[in-house]
Structure 1
Amino acid sequence: MKEGPNIAQIAALIGDPARANMLTALMSGKALTASELAAEAGVTLQTASAHLAKLDRGGLLRQRKQGRHKYFSLASDEVAHVLEGLMGLAAGAGHLRRRTGPKDDALRKARVCYNHLAGDMGTQMFDSLVAQGHLVFEDDALVLTASGAAFIAELGIDLASLSKGRASLCRECLDWSERRSHLAGSLGRAFLARFEALAWLRRDQATRVIAFSPKGTKAFEALFPLEAISADR
């Protein structure tokens, strides 16, 4: 008798093309209706409902009802972390679903990974935080240092409120396009929310693309300079 977690069951849920498309669409961090997810998967609403029921029973989705509509989102950060890892594995093995298009460069530059910044700018932020000593590795765990706490406080992020949550404060997430780490966890989410509050960026509502304004790009480069990363290597 085999013991331990049944990864085959989860893999089978994710492995269906229609369900994979739905889960990928939810990586934007937005809750979507069954109709919207049916369009993303290219299936009928009836077929989409059956797929969503399976994903819900499998613990991969969370559903909420508002008025006449039912909205679906990923069940947790952990689910998003697994999906991003699978995207990196697929991209590294050359398993791309279509030819690159106009949005491809934009996705690689900056995009939403569920609730945090990913892409080239996401990995730049992570590498710069490490290079400046704001994040360090202790026993393979990512830890915010005293200088890091001062850094985020100056940016207007409330560390005390982040520490009260159940999600881990700092966590590495393998970036599928860069094949390097970007910052997840409650701190990664807080950085993205703060950048939005400062109007440094806007999200493309039809994709996961994040577009930084000239002002936002300049401020981002000042906070997370490439020179700090180069000097650290």
Structure 2
Amino acid sequence: MTGSPDLAAVAALIGDRTRAKILLALLDSGPMAASRLADRAKVSAPLASAHLRKLMAGGLLAVQPHGRQRFYRLSGQAVADAIEALLLVAPTAPARSYRDVAESAALRRGRMCHDHIGGRTGVALTRGLLDGRFLECRGTVPHLTRHGARAFGRLEIDVAELARHRRPLTRACLDWSEQGHHLGGSLGAALASEFFRRGWLHTSETSRAVSVSERGREVLVENFQLHACGQG
């Protein structure tokens, strides 16, 4: 016999600050080794491993082998969505240093939301794609237009192949910092991946924030007529 969902069990897992830092790191940066997660959470490797085991046992994380290393990732889109939803109602933590203030500002400008672009950059990009009729909204869901399919094709993104995946091609992901929507789904992930591959989107080892390069901004203007994408 199946009982009701145990919300308290999931809340207890997320409620620990170290585990919350690990989940946020994976939300923003994708799969990571235990050593890097320990650095992000600012804890020792043995303590990070203990927290990772708990998150695995609770079904929030999965492991993918990479050579001799084990990389941890969120177990699915539902987990990423749940964390983003909680961020919408979470109180803002007080900044303890100028570095905290700078990091918060950078995250609001641009960051990875699981595997697609969030923050002001992601919201501005999505609005521009809608304004340029590369996407169109039906209700609250963005849909790719023929014009958009041709434009993404010029960036070597095969939208026909993406549409064959089980994952939705496009979805509206509510952004916790901008209170607007950015583009998720397999198309949003493919766009972010292609930008990273071409060096149009940058991140660093020490920050969860991402930024669009000068060439990336030129491409947005050339291909999508977007003159601003959340920078500054």
TM-score computed with the length of structure 2 as normaliser = 0.84
Report matched runs for 1:7-22 at 5 Å.
7-22=7-22
Q: C-alpha distance in 1, partners of 2:65/2:154?
A: 38
Q: C-alpha distance in 2, partners of 1:107/1:76?
A: 22
Code of the residue aligned with 2:127 in structure 1: it is D
Q: 1:143 to 1:57 in 2, by over 3 A?
A: same
TM-score computed with the length of structure 1 as normaliser = 0.83
Q: C-alpha distance in 1, partners of 2:7/2:95?
A: 24
Report Cα offsets for 1:116-140 as digits up to 9, x if no partner.
1111111011112222233233354
Q: Does the CA-based 8 Å contact 1:204-1:211 persist in structure 2?
A: no
> Residue 174 of structure 2 aligns with which residue?
174
Q: Say which SS state the counterpart of residue 177 (structure 1) adopts.
A: coil
What is the root-mean-square deviation in Å for CA atoms of aligned residues? 2.5
Q: C-alpha distance in 2, partners of 1:49/1:197?
A: 31
Q: C-alpha distance in 1, partners of 2:29/2:220?
A: 22
The total of aligned residue pairs comes to: 224
Q: C-alpha distance in 2, partners of 1:40/1:137?
A: 37
Report Cα offsets for 1:18-50 as digits up to 9, x if no partner.
110111111233322323323333333333222
Q: Say which SS state the counterpart of residue 101 (structure 1) adopts.
A: helix
Report Cα offsets for 1:150-195 as digits up to 9, x if no partner.
2322332101221122211111112122121111110001111222
Q: Give structure 1 stretches of 5+ with no counterpart.
A: 228-233
Q: Does the CA-based 8 Å contact 1:124-1:226 persist in structure 2?
A: no
Q: C-alpha distance in 2, partners of 1:111/1:202?
A: 10
Q: Say which SS state the counterpart of residue 117 (structure 1) adopts.
A: strand
Q: Percentage identity across aligned positions?
A: 36
Q: 1:37 to 1:140 in 2, by over 3 A?
A: same
Q: 1:197 to 1:65 in 2, by over 3 A?
A: closer
Report deviation, 1:66: 4.0
Report matched runs for 1:133-212 at 5 Å.
133-212=133-212
> Residue 94 of structure 1 aligns with which residue?
92
Q: 1:224 to 1:206 in 2, by over 3 A?
A: farther
Q: 1:72 to 1:97 in 2, by over 3 A?
A: farther
